[in-house]
Structure 1
Amino acid sequence: MRLKRFIAVGAVLTCSTLLWGCGNGTANNASQQQNDTVRSESWSDPKRLEASHLEALERMEKDHIHRMVSLSASTDGDKVITTLERSSQKLEEMRPLAEMLQHEGHPALLQRIQDMSGDIQSSKSVIAEMKNLPQDGKIKIQSENSDSLHHISSFRDYHQYIQGQVQSLDGKSTQMSH
């Protein structure tokens, strides 16, 4: 008797799992069709599509900058590099769409991606340079006085700020060696 009950419960569980799996697949297909519809509607207005992606890029940049300025480039250089690499990855994911939009006569997104990529590469170079300098006067990017960080809102600002820090440290180490 018990065996029959177990078999019955097992059969019910198996059926419901299969049904749930099928239902889930159907839901996924429906959402996929919806996404395709949204995509095809968006393509009918490439200017709007470009604007929404430019906005998304700006949000991503602000978010990643916020993470970087809360670190010290000298002591947390690896974490900063990781954040910069994630930013590069996000840009590369958007590049194919930007190239398609450029063919449609909307080059702003691709231009923005190229500018940001250049600024990210510059930041990486500066941090690599920073690692090679003596660490006597540790450069705290986030210090007691974080007012100087409030103007940093883009990868370019970040790169220029770090470059200034490296030059001041480089100047100090040159003076020390005389």
Structure 2
Amino acid sequence: MSQPFSPQQQALGNLLDRPNRVQVASYSQYLEAQRAVDYLSDQKFAVEHTSIVGEGLKIVEQVTGRLDWTRALSLGMTQGAFTGIFIGLILNFLGFGGENRSFLSLMIDGLLLGVIFGAFWGLLTYAMSGGRRDFTSVGGMRADHYNVMVDPELAEQARALLERMPSMPVPPTR
């Protein structure tokens, strides 16, 4: 027996199930397509009948450095420190410090505990990787181009509005 879809899944399905939408513009950068839809919204166009579709999708992962025991330890300690300070703040605001504990002492305790647990976790996860991923990286998805798509009955109105959109200034080169 299949599970019923959540309201969010149904809404996403309804949005993706629009094969009859018409392309009114295409841009090489996502921010340009976003700017076009924002312009349509500023012109009181019914943007709920609009979508931005990226085509030619690629996953890009930029390697940022080598990962070894020392780097795993320092990354774990840094992340743990921030987490510990955050938890210390929450505990302070919720009143778990009591009258005999100062704000600063809760922050220092959170920092120290965070550094200890972060160091342990950083080393543990690096050890568990077994040398299969000895680098750090950041990743994301990128498209070759982004199409602004509109329901067919509103396509001409959207095209006419986008023709009047002011051009984006070109930043000066150094």
TM-score, normalised via structure 2 length: 0.25
Q: TM-score, normalised by structure 1?
A: 0.24
**Structure with higher RCO (Cα < 8 A, 6+ apart):** 2
More strand by share: 2
